Amino acid sequence: MTEERVLALAGLFQACALAQQLANEGRCDEAAMEASVASVFRIDAPSVVGVYGNISNVRLGLRTLIGQLDESTPDMSVTRMTVTVMRLERSLSARADLLEKLQQGIVAAQRQVEHFGQGSSQVSSRLAEVYASTLSILKPRVMVSGNPQQLQQTAVVEKVRTNLLAAVRSAVLWRQLGGRQWQLLLYRRQCSMLARGLLTGATLDNR
C-alpha cells in the first residue's frame, strides 16, 4: 500500500460519505464536495495530490477511511457504496462507448463551469445527467438509501449523483495506481497508518 493509493481511496470514501450525508440530511460538507467535484475535471493532473488540489481537501475522506478500517462499528452504508463503486468502475472500463460518452459529458460540463462556476446548480445538474446516462446503465447499480423526503428533491438527487461521479473518478485513479479491493483486507493496518499520517500532515499544514 502506498500513500498515493491511500489518497485515491480517501477521495473515493469522501465522495461516498458526501452522497450519504446528502441522502440523510439533504446537505453535506460544501468544501469537501467542492474538492470532490473538482477532481472530476482534473483528468490530466501531474500528481495524485494534484487531482484533489491538496491533501487537506480530502480530510473528510481520510477520516472516513480511518473510521471504516479501525472502528468496531463502521458505517456500513458508506462501505457498501464504496465497494459497489469499485465494481462499477470495473464494468465501466469494459465499455469503451460509455467511457467516451462520459468523457464528452465531462468536457461539456467543464464549459458550464467556466460560465456559471463549479458550485452552480447548472454544473451539478449536468454532471448528474452525465452519471445517469452512462454509469446508471451499468451493473452493479449504486443504491443510495437515506431520508425519503430528501431523496424526493431533485437538487439533492443531482448532488448525490454528482458525488457518485466523483467517487468513480477516484476509483479509476485507485485502479490506475494498482489498487485492488482485496488490499483493503490484507493491508488494513498499513492503510490505516498511512491515512493517519496523511491526516496529521494535512491538519498541521492547515493551521
Query: The cell 484533489 sits on which residue?
Result: 52
> What pLDDT score was predicted for residue 33?
96
pTM comes to 0.95
DSSP structure class, residue 53? S
Asked whether the predicted pLDDT for residue 207 surpasses 90, the reply is no
Average the pLDDT over 161-174 and give the result. Answer: 97
Q: Where are the domains of the chain?
A: 3-205
CATH (residue range 3-205): 1.10.3890.10
Per-residue pLDDT tens digits for 53-102: 999 999 999 999 999 988 777 788 999 999 999 999 999 999 999 999 99
Prior bond to 140 cis, omega within 30?
Answer: yes
Residue 177 has pLDDT above 80, yes or no: yes
Helix residue spans in 135-186 (DSSP H): 148-151, 154-176, 183-186
Chain mean pLDDT for the chain: 93
Q: How many angstroms separate the CA atoms of 88 and 100, rounded?
A: 16
